[in-house]
Amino acid sequence: MSISIIIIAITVIISVLAFNKLELFDKLKFNPYLIKEHKQWWRFLSHALLHSDWMHLLINMYVLYSFSSIVEDTYFNLFSYRGLLYFVLLYVGGVLFSTVFDYSKQKSNPYYNAVGASGAVSAVVFSSILIFPGGSIFLFPIPFPIPSWVFGILYIVYSAYMGKKANDNIGHNAHLWGAIYGIVFTAVTIPNLVSGLLQRIF
């Protein structure tokens, strides 16, 4: 079984449990104030196991499923079992790095909360785009595939817009920072990708 399928399964289980258990949801959600004042460091990671509702969960897990196989397979083909570790570092690093902006901005605000694997999913999405720019994804109800790079741009624009509204528990700013992490991590671990893309462009 692939690492991404295991991640999806764990995330779905914890998210569904937390839908009906407010105590669990509150214990795991991202709250910069509680991290700073009460040293609850696990929240940097645990929030990625939660989602605000079924739609949030299904979208994130569908996008992760759609883009993760090319990334996971590429790392495995290049580095064998060490590549699986790289994939985990890509995902977990995306979770961590995507919280840096909101933590620094909201650490004195006890009322700010965020949940979701969006930062990690964004890291995987943009890693996939860097690895295979010609990829595509089907999104209901659009009857034709959307190029991966177009989806990536739309994903970031939507996140930036929703991040400014900031009226839900979804960490929209995490999408942008997760994307940056995914691009940098992939470029560092597979440097030939960048040189290859530059050669195609120029």
Average pLDDT of the residues in 18-25: 95
Q: State how many domains the chain has.
A: 1
- Mean of the per-residue pLDDT values for the chain? 88
Higher pLDDT, 13 or 141: 13
| CATH number, domain with residue 58 | 1.20.1540.10
| C-beta pairs of 128-136 under 8 Å, 24+ apart in sequence | 128/67, 128/68, 128/70, 128/71, 130/182, 130/183, 130/186, 130/187, 130/193, 130/194, 130/197, 131/70, 131/71, 131/74, 131/186, 131/190, 131/193, 132/70, 132/74, 133/197, 135/67, 135/70
**pLDDT at res. 196:** 63
Q: Could you tell me the residue range of the domain that residue 93 belongs to?
A: 3-201
0.75 exceeded by pTM? yes
Residues 126-145: what's their mean pLDDT?
79
